[in-house]
Amino acid sequence: MTKRIYLDWNATAPLLAEARSAMLSMLDAPTNASSVHAEGRAARMAVEGARRSVAALVGAEAAHVVFTSGATEAANMVLTPAFRMGRAPLVASRLYVSAIEHPAVRLGGRFPAGSVSELPVEQSGRLDLAVLEAALSAHPRETGLPLVAVMLVNNETGIVQPVAEAAAIVHRHGGLLVVDAVQAAGRVPIDMASLDADFLFLSAHKIGGPKGAGALVSRGEVLMPEPLIRGGGQEKGHRGGTENVAAIAGFGAAAQVARERIDERTAAIGALRDRLERGMAQVAKDVVIYGQDVPRVCNTTFFSLPGLKAETGQIAFDLEGVAISAGAACSSGKVGQSHVLRAMGHEPRVGGLRISLGASTTEADIERALAVFERVAARRKPAGKAA
């Protein structure tokens, strides 16, 4: 049987050997990091080592990292009207989210639906900064602060968003900025100070760590959201519940690898992605590859083929042993147009397909994917007819 090829790294990355090793070392020991005996202290050392590694990945202080069960929990933790500045309550009266955000952000977290405003993107797929400026200019400050959520890298298109520029606008209007850095980690350098973000969040399994681990990273320790999960005071009271030491250790190991190898990985993966896109354009001159004219991460190709429904294309690739996705993994099982494409002003009824590469992708993988693409393109229905 022909070996399968995995080209869906934006959905999840295979577990790194370094992460697996770190996890196994913790699974074989009693690991409650709140215990004061030797075993507990060993667990605490593992957690704090991972905290330093995650902080280093995004240019933050280790003390400003709060571990969670994943990015979705971190998003729901920080997307709240209720903050504290030290002991004083601070209210965020409205949440502004870009139209291309992950559902975990678009749904608004703990904000009532009526207190969430969606910000459009330009046809290029990047946030419309002029609209952001206008929205915050009209925000009634007497009701509370504006909270703005903008992803650094879009999970479907790979397009890099103008986060630093957005931060300047947000802070000029006295607001707070939350950044979804899930798809950016390990693919572009991240520095909280350069981004000028107040909060950002991460997911372990996108960088080769385990599923079930994530982090909320803050600019400092004074301004923090009210806890989503209350309990025994873990994570300095910001997130209750016994720490998942094994998963956190794996997250830390993956974060260290992502930081240390980012330059070599991005260069190699970018060359493979460019080869893929050149080949696709040669095979099907009418292929539409989104985001080619704006900054993108090195590993992502999001495309449409006239006459080929995304679901049909995904199944065809899968039957030929190549794993790709029809949009985001969290919604790819649903029939319907990508909300990202819709936000960009595209109305292809066929939807879009995403190919995303990773550290173990080879030139042979790309050539095989192109061979499958050529067969799939040849079988599609004429443009304008249902696939």
Segment 249-308, tens digit of pLDDT: 999 999 999 999 999 899 999 999 999 999 999 999 999 999 999 999 999 999 999 989
Q: 206-254: per-residue pLDDT in tens?
A: 999 999 999 999 999 999 999 999 999 999 999 999 999 999 999 999 9
pTM of model > 0.85: yes
Tell me: do 327 and 178 sit in the same domain. no
Other CB atoms within 10 Å distance of the CB of residue 249: 30
Q: Which amino acid is at 307?
A: G
Q: Can you read off the two tokens belonging to residue 264?
A: 């070599």
Tell me: do 46 and 156 sit in the same domain. yes
Residue scoring higher pLDDT (333 or 191): 191
- Domain encompassing residue 217: 17-260
Q: Which of 226, 260, 294 is the last residue of a domain?
A: 260
Q: Which one, of 199, 240, 220, 226, lies nearest residue 84 by Cα?
A: 226
Q: 297-328: per-residue pLDDT in tens?
A: 999 999 999 989 999 999 999 999 999 998 65
pLDDT attached to residue 332: 44
Share of the chain above pLDDT 90, in %: 86
Q: 115-150: per-residue pLDDT in tens?
A: 999 999 999 999 999 999 999 999 999 999 999 999
pLDDT attached to residue 336: 55
Active site residue 330: yes
Q: Domain count of the chain?
A: 2
Out of 330, 345, 367, 375, pick the active-site residue: 330
Contacts of residue 360, Cβ cutoff 8 Å, sequence gap at least 6: 6, 14
pLDDT attached to residue 385: 47
Q: Which one, of 106, 105, 93, 76, lies nearest residue 228 by Cα?
A: 76
For residue 386, tell me if it sits in a domain.
no
Average pLDDT, the chain: 94
pLDDT band at residue 330 under the 50/70/90 scheme? low
Q: Where are the beta strands (DSSP E) in 51-134?
A: 65-68, 82-85, 88-98, 116-119
Contact (CB, 8 A) for 92 and 145:
yes
Q: 108-118: per-residue pLDDT in tens?
A: 999 999 999 99
Q: Which of 260, 281, 306 is the last residue of a domain?
A: 260
DSSP H or E segment with residue 179: strand 176-180
Tell me: do 135 and 32 sit in the same domain. yes
Measured between alpha carbons, how far is 125 from 366 in angstroms, rounded to an integer? 26
Q: 158-171: per-residue pLDDT in tens?
A: 999 999 999 999 99
For residue 385, tell me if it sits in a domain.
no
Tell me: do 173 and 53 sit in the same domain. yes
Measured between alpha carbons, how far is 315 from 322 in angstroms, rounded to an integer? 9
pLDDT band at residue 64 under the 50/70/90 scheme? very high
Tell me: do 255 and 357 sit in the same domain. no
pLDDT attached to residue 131: 98
pLDDT attached to residue 387: 42
pLDDT at 364 over 50: yes
Measured between alpha carbons, how far is 1 from 104 in angstroms, rounded to an integer? 38
Angle at alpha carbon of residue 86, lines to 81 and 87, rounded to 5°: 80
Measured between alpha carbons, how far is 222 from 296 in angstroms, rounded to an integer? 34
pLDDT at 2 over 90: no
Q: Which of 239, 260, 281 is the last residue of a domain?
A: 260
